[in-house]
Amino acid sequence: MTTSEDGFALDEAVLRQRKAATERRVYGRHVPALRAGGFMVLCIVAALQAPAGVPLHQQPAWLVLVALNLGYATIAWALLHWGAGRSGRLDLPLLLFHVDLLVWLVNLQFLEQATLFFAYFLLLRVADQVGYGFRRALYYGHVVTAGYLAYALWIAQVEPARALWPERLGILVTLYLLSLYLALTGLVTERLRRRTREAVHAARALVDRLARQAADLQSQTVELERARRQAEQASLAKSQFLAVTSHEIRTPMNGILGAAELLNATPLSAAQRHYVRTAHRSARALLALIDDVLDLSRIEAGRLQLHLAPTDLRQLVDDAVDLVDLAAHGKPVTLGLNLPPSLPQRVQADGVRLRQLLVNLLHNAVKFTDEGAVRLEVQVLAQTTTTLTLRFSVHDSGIGIPADQLDAIFDAFTQVDATSTRRHGGSGLGLAIVHQLATLMGGTVRVASVPGQGSHFWVDLPLALAPDPAPAAPAIAAPVAPDATGARLLLAEDDPVNQMVVAEMLRLLGCAVDVVADGGAAHQAVLDGGYDLVLMDCHMPEVDGFEATRRIRAAPAGAARTPVVALTADALDSDRRRCLDAGMDDVLTKPVSSAQLAAAVERWTGRPTRPAMQW
Ligand code: ADP
C-alpha cells in the first residue's frame, strides 16, 4: 500500500525498493565522498604541521604522505562507488576500514611529531561506524586501540626516544574508553532503528489485518445478501405454494361441501342425515384449517393488509357472539355479552379481521369450557375526540391453562396438552393468528388463567372513531320483488363436479341455470342475452374468467351491464382485487354454501330465492 512516491508507505516491496535506493545513495556516493574528504583534511593538517621555512614540495616525507593519502582516497572512493550494491557478500567498508587504519597510522607517525595527541584522530574511524550499530563500533574500537598499541610498541622499538609510555598509555586508555562510549551510542542508534522497524512491522501487520477484516466483511456482506435473497425466494415460494395448494384444495372442497348440501336436501334416514352432517362438519373443519394456515403465512410474510372502513362495533360483536353461539349449540355453556352504554357506535376498523380475532377467542373459550359461562366484555380504556382504546375481554369458566404454558400458547402449532386436543380438536394456529392480528392492528393480547377455574383473554386495541352514518331516509314500501324462480343464471365453470353441484344448488334456490365450460362460451351466451346474473369461475381453459368479463363489459349496452360474480378458489386479497379490476361486481370464494349463493342471487338479481339449506 503506497500512499505516494515519497510519502509514508507500509508495503514491503515499496519499503525494500526505497531501502535499496537509500543504500545505493549513501554507500555509493555519500560515504566514498566523505572518506575522500577526510583524507583531504589529513593532507591539509599534514601541510600545517610540516616544518616551516621549507617549501612543501621540497619536503619528501610530506610529499609521500600526500601522495599516499590522495592515492588511497581515490582508489577507495572508486572501489566503494563501484562496489555499492554489487560487492555481494564482500563487506567492502569493513575491508577498507582495516586498510584505513594502516594509512592513519602512517599519517600519525608523521603528524605526532608535532603533537602526540593526534592519535585521537583514530577515533574518527570508530565514530563513523556508529551508524552501523553497536557490535561493529565496538569491534572498530578494539581494532583501533589494538592498532595504536601495536604502533606504540613499534615506535618504542624503532625510536626509543619517542616511546613516551606514560603519555601513550594515557592515550590508549582514553582511546579505549571513548571508543566504548561511541559503541554505546551505536547501541542507542540500533535500538531506535529496531523500534522504528518494529513500529513499521506492527503498522504493517495492522494494515494487513484491517485489509483481511475488510475482505472478510465484504464476503460476509455478499453472503448475507445471498442469504437474504434466498430467504425472500423461499418466502415467495412458500406463499406461492400455499396459494396454489389452497386453490387446489378449495376446488374439490366445493364439490364435497356442495354435494353434502345437496344430499342433505334429499329425503334421508336419521342415520344417513347424521353421516352427511358429519361429513359436512369435517369438511368445514378442514377448510377452516386451510384458511388458518393461509392467514398465518400471509401475516408472517407481511402480505396481509388491513382494510379499514367505518364499522358498526355493536353489530360486529353481536355477529361474533352469534356465530360462536351456533357452534356452542348443544353444550351447557351460556354465552354473554357486556357492552358499556358509552361504547361509540362506529369505529375505523377492518371488520372482517376484528371479527375473526374475537371469534377465535370466543371459539376457544367455548371449546375449552364443558359447562358454565363464556362472556365477551368490551371496555373503553381511553377516549379522545378522534380516537379510543378498547379492551375486548373473553372470560370463560373452563379448564384453564397452567402458568408455565401461558407464554407458549401464542406460538403457532402450540397446544397445552395433546389429550385435550384430541378431545377438543384444533390445530394450534388460532391464538397465533389472534396475536399476529392484534399486533398488526397496533394492539396487544394478554391472558390470565387458573387451571380448573377458567381463563381470561383480553385484547387492547387503539382505534379511530368514525362519524355516525346519516339518518336513514324514511322507509318506502319496497315493491314486491319477483320470485327468483325464473331468474336466469349463467354458470361459467370448467370443473364437471362443480358444474353439477353449483347448478343443482342454484336450481334448488329456484333459479334457471345454464352452464358453460369456458370464458369464450360465457361471453357468447351473455351476448345472446337474457341472463340476470353470471357466476364466473376465474381459471378456465382458452378464455379465462377475467378476460371473459372484460369482453362482457365491452359488449353492447344491455349485455355489458349483466352482473358478474366471481366464483373462485383463489382466496387471497390480491385475487379479489384482480376480479374487481377485471370488471366483476362481487366475489364468492369456493367452497360456496347455498346460503352464500342465495345471498348473492338476491343481491344481484333483486329477487328473493327459496330458503337456503340450513344445517
Ligand atoms: P387450537 O385451539 O386450535 O388448539 P389455539 O392457538 O387457538 O389452537 O390455542 C392453543 C392452545 O391454547 C389450545 O390448544 C389450548 O391448549 C390452549 N387454549 C386456548 N384457549 C384456551 C381457553 N380459553 N381455555 C383453555 N385453554 C385454552
Block means of pLDDT (10 residues each) for the chain, 615 residues, are 53 81 85 86 84 83 89 92 82 86 87 78 79 87 93 92 90 92 88 89 90 95 95 82 80 88 89 87 81 78 82 91 79 91 90 91 93 94 93 96 90 68 68 93 95 96 85 50 70 90 90 93 90 93 92 86 91 84 93 90 88 69
3-state secondary structure 38-73: HHHHHHHHHHHHCCCCCCHHHCHHHHHHHHHHHHHH
Q: Which residues line ligand 1 (CB under 6 A)?
A: 364-365, 368, 396, 398-401, 409, 414-416, 420-421, 426-432, 455
Residue nearest to atom 2 of ligand 1 (CA): 426
Name which of 298, 367, 379, 307 is nearest 337 in CA terms: 379
Compute the distance from residue 360 Cα to the ligand 1 centre, in Å: 10
What is the position in ligand 1's atom list of the atom closest to the CA of 432? 6
Which of 290, 424, 431, when mutated, tests ligand 1's pocket best, judged by the most ligand atoms within 8 Å of its CB?
A: 431
What is the position in ligand 1's atom list of the atom closest to the CA of 396? 23
Residue nearest to atom 8 of ligand 1 (CA): 428
Compute the distance from residue 61 Cα to the ligand 1 centre, in Å: 121
Compute the distance from residue 333 Cα to the ligand 1 centre, in Å: 17
The whole-angstrom separation of Cα 493 and Cα 537 is 5
Hey, where are the domains in the chain? Answer: 22-199, 305-415+427-465, 488-605
pLDDT for position 431: 93
What is the position in ligand 1's atom list of the atom closest to the CA of 416? 16
The whole-angstrom separation of Cα 145 and Cα 186 is 18
**Buried b vs exposed e over 465-486: b needs ≥16 C-beta within 10 Å?**
bbeeeeeeeeeeeeeeeeebee
CB 561 within 8 A of CB 526: no
Which of 324, 358, 362, 368, when mutated, tests ligand 1's pocket best, judged by the most ligand atoms within 8 Å of its CB?
A: 368
DSSP H or E stretch at residue 378: strand 372-383
Say which DSSP state 406 is in.
Answer: T
- The model scores a pTM over 0.75: no
Q: What contacts 144, CB < 8 A, 6 or more positions away?
A: 101, 122, 123, 125, 126, 175, 179
Q: What contacts 455, CB < 8 A, 6 or more positions away?
A: 365, 368, 395, 396, 398, 400, 401, 447, 448, 449
Compute the distance from residue 141 Cα to the ligand 1 centre, in Å: 96
The whole-angstrom separation of Cα 527 and Cα 533 is 13
Query: Dihedral, CA atoms, 142, 148, 149, 154, nearest 10 degrees?
Result: 150
Which of 3.90.550.60, 3.40.30.10, 3.30.565.10, 3.90.1150.10 is the CATH number of 305-415+427-465?
Answer: 3.30.565.10
Residue with the three cell numbers 355489458? 560
Which of 357, 411, 415, when mutated, tests ligand 1's pocket best, judged by the most ligand atoms within 8 Å of its CB?
A: 415
Residue nearest to atom 19 of ligand 1 (CA): 364
Compute the distance from residue 274 Cα to the ligand 1 centre, in Å: 28
Output the CA–CA distances (angstroms, integers) from residue 441 to 299, 437, 453, in the order listed. 12, 6, 30
Give the number of other CB atoms < 10 A from CB of residue 48. 10
CB 397 within 8 A of CB 372: yes
Q: What's the CA angle centered on 383, arms 380 and 388, to 5 degrees?
A: 75
What is the position in ligand 1's atom list of the atom closest to the CA of 394? 23
Contacts from 556-563 at CB under 8 Å and sequence distance 24+?
556/527, 558/529, 559/526, 559/527, 559/529, 562/526, 562/531, 562/532, 562/533, 562/534, 563/532, 563/533, 563/534, 563/604, 563/605
Residue with the three cell numbers 349463493? 597
Say which DSSP state 609 is in.
Answer: P
Residue nearest to atom 21 of ligand 1 (CA): 364
Angle between helices 165-264 and 496-508 (to 10 degrees): 50
Say which DSSP state 254 is in.
Answer: H
Beta-strand pair 387-396/372-383? antiparallel
The whole-angstrom separation of Cα 196 and Cα 189 is 11
Compute the distance from residue 415 Cα to the ligand 1 centre, in Å: 6
Which of 290, 299, 359, 364, when mutated, tests ligand 1's pocket best, judged by the most ligand atoms within 8 Å of its CB?
A: 364
Share of the chain residues as helix, strand and coil, in percent rounded to the nearest 5: 60, 15, 25
Compute the distance from residue 456 Cα to the ligand 1 centre, in Å: 12
Q: Provide the CA 108 distance to its chain's centre, in angstroms.
A: 82
Say which DSSP state 28 is in.
Answer: I
**Phi–psi pair at 485, nearest 5 degrees:** -60, 115
Give me 198's grid cell. Answer: 518494529
CB 442 within 8 A of CB 308: no
The whole-angstrom separation of Cα 431 and Cα 412 is 8
Compute the distance from residue 416 Cα to the ligand 1 centre, in Å: 7
In this structure, is the dihedral angle defined by the CA atoms of residues 426, 431, 432 and 433, taken in order, positive or negative?
A: positive
Query: Dihedral, CA atoms, 233, 239, 242, 244, nearest 10 degrees?
Result: -80
Compute the distance from residue 411 Cα to the ligand 1 centre, in Å: 11
Which of 299, 371, 401, when mutated, tests ligand 1's pocket best, judged by the most ligand atoms within 8 Å of its CB?
A: 401
Residue nearest to atom 7 of ligand 1 (CA): 430
Residue nearest to atom 14 of ligand 1 (CA): 415
Residue 347 DSSP SS3: strand
Could you confirm whether domain 488-605 is CATH 3.40.50.2300?
Answer: yes
Give the number of other CB atoms < 10 A from CB of residue 222. 10
pLDDT for position 4: 44
Residue 239 DSSP SS3: helix
